[in-house]
Amino acid sequence: MLTIRLVEEKVAVIYHTDAVKSPVHLSIGQEAPSVAVCAALEKNDMVIGTYRGHALYLAREGDLDAMVAELYGKSEGCGRGKAGSMHLGDKSIGMPHTSAIVATGMPNAIGVAFAQKFKKENAITACFIGDGAVDEGAVSESMNFAGLKKLPLLIIVENNQFAIHSPISTRMPRPNFVERAAAFNVAGASVMDNDLDSMLSTSQAAIDHVRSGQGPFLLEIATYRWKEHVGPGDDWALGYRTKEDASPWFENDPLKLCGERIAADRRLALESKVKEQITRAFDRAEKGTFPDPAEMWDNVYA
């Protein structure tokens, strides 16, 4: 969680230099859901994420150097520069490169879960979506199929209350995700208190449910995006939400509260180690090599 926060803060700091040259959707403030769920997953499980994917990639222990290099468009990146921030992924951590079209990973998640069940792997698929994705037909259709076939699928709805700037109240007459899931025989639970321990215990219970063959599960986790939808800045001036709205989320920041539970000297040591790794990753990315222009032609077809 600390790594995610500090990496993204570093991205925000260097963004003005235009080293990244591509949109970034920062997860600052909403790191905890990815961290909690990934802590409870097994190595052979699969994860499907979104364009706001830095947190999931790092929580899944994706290679930090390869992520930063990817943001810099370098050939050491996890997509050799063809992916960028919006399409992080890595086969070695069971994470297909993510999509920048809302909800489009969800149908792929049911396909991955279908294959896991078909092959009788003792593995599950964790699919991360936001509350905006729930507006999309693909999410309802996917839950329908997952419930029908009792697929080993965990759906995590990171509910940050906004689709870009549009609040849920302008998008849904009855925004109850667990209730929607129930209509498709998908079990569900919500964690609304922004508490890491609650997220951890509920994630573990949800994953146990899915892994034991009882069918899919929808886990709603309330969270809050601190930064603007896309880019490194704050957006309080836009007026669609206020800093006062956000203050409970700042106060209950899972990272801050978690840090307070660690002895000060240990925390400082941890922070300096993480900062060192991050500094090294950004240094390496800067010194990395851009792909040869001829690489544009590679991987069009398999």
What does the binding site for other proteins look like in residue numbers (CB under 8 A)?
46, 78-80, 82-83, 87, 89-91, 96-97, 99, 101, 104, 106-116, 118-119, 137-138, 141-142, 144-145, 148, 298-302
Give the nearest distance from C-beta 177 to other proteins in angstroms.
18
Host H or E run for residue 130: strand 125-130
Torsion of CA 47, 200, 179, 120, to 10 degrees: 40
Q: What are phi and psi of 16, to 5 degrees?
A: -65, -20
Q: Which is nearer to other proteins, 5 or 74 (CB)?
A: 74
Q: Taking the complex as a whole, how short is the minimal distance between the CB of residue 247 and other proteins, in angstroms?
A: 38
Minimum CB separation of residue 265 from other proteins in Å reads 41
Closest CA to 134 of 57, 50, 207: 50
- Considering the complex, state which of residue 75 and residue 252 has its C-beta at the smaller distance from other proteins: 75
**Beta-bridge partners for 99:** 50
Query: Tokens in use for 147?
Result: 């419930």
Of the pair 62, 232, the CB lying nearest other proteins is at: 62
Q: Residue 237 or residue 302: which is nearer to other proteins going by CB?
A: 302
| Closest CB to other proteins among residues 30, 116 | 116
H/E stretch holding 166 reads strand 166-167
Of the candidates 89, 86, 92, the residue with the CA atom closest to the CA atom of residue 78: 89
- Return the closest-CA partner of residue 94 out of 116, 77, 72, 73: 116
Q: CB of 122: closest distance to other proteins in angstroms?
A: 15
Q: Shortest Cβ distance from residue 139 to other proteins (Å)?
A: 9
